Amino acid sequence: MHRRGFLVAGLATALAGSRALAQMKMDGMSDMDSMPGMGGHAGHDMGAMGAMGQSPTALPQGEALRELPPLANEAGRSGLFRARLTAEPATARFVADRETPILAYNGMSPGPLIEAYEGDRVEITFANRIGDEPSTIHWHGMPVPADQDGNPMDPVAAGADRAYAFELPEGSAGSYWYHPHPHGRTAEQVYRGLAGAFVVKAKADPVPAAYGDTVLMFTDLRLAADGSMPDNTMTDLMNGRVGDHVLVNGQKNPKLTVAMGARRRLRLYNATNARFLRLAFGNAAMTVIGSDGGLLEKPVAADEILLSPAERIELVVAFDKPGTASLTTLAYDRGWMGPGRPEDAGLTLLTVEVSDAPAEAMPPLPERLRPIAPLAAPTVSRRLVFTETMAMNATGMEMGFLINGKAFDMGRVDIVAKAGETELWEIVNQADMDHPFHLHGTQFQVVERERGGKVSKPPYLAWKDTVNVARGETVRLITRQERPGPRMYHCHILEHEQLGMMGIVDVQA
């Protein structure tokens, strides 16, 4: 605590010339005095800094839940999904009398829902019309070739088009998403609105169709009084940007109406930059049926779930009691630097009205969903140590989010791996905050966690591409890259990724 206190107290006075300031200038901040609470006197007033961006703006609640509009398939034949995604400035009306400039895919935020099937070929032309900055589309979690993955080494220039093409292999059904991944600009492009869901459906799905299939995409909105989205602050850069309103499919606490006895299949996406969502469904029973990379082997009942940034989970929720069933947040301490820790408990994200009239009898969930083969014994092991460094030096305040002591360098390969080889990755979090670890190019299996000398096994086998590594925790996972090429691994608190917590594994044939 002493260290943190020192650093935070020194922060505002040391901003000039700091790496963090350079970052903020890149993000469009030209003048520190334009930040509320950050004038020349702010050095001692951490309360003002913590209040930055806090907005009393009220958003309407209780509107009928909007299902994400699907992206139309222009191919006109089965086996091929062909479409165009244009990223461009747009406006949204979160509050009645104010327009909010956002970034949108095809005019929407979240972007349109892409639904394709295992075995399909996907051809999507991306048009970058954001303005004067590069972008990419990263197909988060999807088994696409390295040169189609939209990584930072492969930018799409402002005004340019780029065709992405890949096949969806058998067995790849799951809840993926797409978002920009350009060097140094990912955090801002995402919080301004660029993210969408990509659901790969199984040809034979064991989950009863009567449950429906609804994506709930969580994003995190901060609005200034004039309706605009404020730029990132120092607090945001340290902790990752947490907004004032958690939205579901772009709406605050929307309403879903179901008949008593209904079961609903819900795909929950944490598409926020940095908000940890520990969730419970009051008055309704949750069963986990899937993770980032598709279905589990069998359903697992859950009282609560933790969804860290970029994670997804598939649930079946049983609405057996009449009245109201609410999806709410529980307290979760993910480690917070400095003042301004946001409220995280007691937020209602979705309200479900369960009518008295009984639903038509629903078929039961099968006891087995699909087999998951455990990855074979690893032949290589790697150790990745996450640290945060914040120190004063001659030029000011230096913030670093590091892996094995190094900040990301696009010209450096950190790990050389071999396609088809099974590896054990040990992710060691020696920092003061939780860091959700994401690996591109493949899905992995978590085998154990260790914290305070206690080792625990995960409650079930699952395919994951993102896993939270709590502060002081070590997560061991097994992974295998099937395709050659460079792949990113990074913290999915996007501000941390941008400030250096990322590396490259080069997979060789």
Note the residues at the interface with Cu ion (CB under 5 A): 435, 491, 493, 496
For the bound state, the minimum distance from the C-beta of residue 418 to Cu ion, rounded and expressed in Å, comes to 28
Q: Write the DSSP assignment of 273-324 as a string of letters.
A: SS--EEEEETTSEEEEEEETTEEEEEEEEES-EEE-TT-EEEEEEEE-SSEE
Residue 375 vs 493, nearer CB to Cu ion? 493
3 state SS of 259: strand
Residue 55 vs 189, nearer CB to Cu ion? 189
Tokens read off for 161: 């088009």
Could you give the CA distance from residue 36 to residue 504 in angstroms, rounded to a whole number? 37
Task: Return the number of other C-beta atoms located less than 10 Å from residue 409's C-beta.
Answer: 12
Could you give the CA distance from residue 67 to residue 483 in angstroms, rounded to a whole number? 35
Residue 321 vs 406, nearer CB to Cu ion? 406
For the bound state, the minimum distance from the C-beta of residue 491 to Cu ion, rounded and expressed in Å, comes to 3
Residue with tokens 């400039």: 101
Residue 71 vs 493, nearer CB to Cu ion? 493
For the bound state, the minimum distance from the C-beta of residue 109 to Cu ion, rounded and expressed in Å, comes to 24
For the bound state, the minimum distance from the C-beta of residue 336 to Cu ion, rounded and expressed in Å, comes to 12
Tokens read off for 44: 């001692």
Residue 423 vs 434, nearer CB to Cu ion? 434
Residue 138 vs 435, nearer CB to Cu ion? 435
Residue 120 vs 388, nearer CB to Cu ion? 388
Contact 327, 304 (CB under 8 A): no
446: CB partners within 8 A, 6+ apart: 458, 462, 464, 467, 475, 476, 477
Residue 230 vs 436, nearer CB to Cu ion? 436
For the bound state, the minimum distance from the C-beta of residue 493 to Cu ion, rounded and expressed in Å, comes to 4
For the bound state, the minimum distance from the C-beta of residue 89 to Cu ion, rounded and expressed in Å, comes to 28
Residue 144 vs 493, nearer CB to Cu ion? 493
Tokens read off for 177: 């998403």
For the bound state, the minimum distance from the C-beta of residue 405 to Cu ion, rounded and expressed in Å, comes to 16
Contact 358, 259 (CB under 8 A): yes
For the bound state, the minimum distance from the C-beta of residue 436 to Cu ion, rounded and expressed in Å, comes to 7
Residue 185 vs 496, nearer CB to Cu ion? 496
| 289 φ/ψ sector (left φ>0, alpha ψ -120 to 50, else beta) | alpha
For the bound state, the minimum distance from the C-beta of residue 206 to Cu ion, rounded and expressed in Å, comes to 36
For the bound state, the minimum distance from the C-beta of residue 401 to Cu ion, rounded and expressed in Å, comes to 6
User: Count of alpha carbons within 13 Å of 102, Cβ hemisphere only?
Assistant: 27
- What's the Rg (C-alpha) of the chain? 22
User: Count of alpha carbons within 13 Å of 162, Cβ hemisphere only?
Assistant: 20
Residue 289 vs 491, nearer CB to Cu ion? 491
For the bound state, the minimum distance from the C-beta of residue 5 to Cu ion, rounded and expressed in Å, comes to 21
Could you give the CA distance from residue 111 to residue 85 in angstroms, rounded to a whole number? 9
Task: Return the number of other C-beta atoms located less than 10 Å from residue 482's C-beta.
Answer: 11
Element (DSSP H or E) covering residue 403: strand 396-403
CB burial of 43-75 (b: ≥16 within 10 Å; e: otherwise) equals beebebbbebbebebebeeeeebeebeebebee
- Phi, psi angles (nearest 5°) of residue 175: -105, 90
For the bound state, the minimum distance from the C-beta of residue 306 to Cu ion, rounded and expressed in Å, comes to 15
Residue 312 vs 496, nearer CB to Cu ion? 496
Could you give the CA distance from residue 299 to residue 30 in angstroms, rounded to a whole number? 52
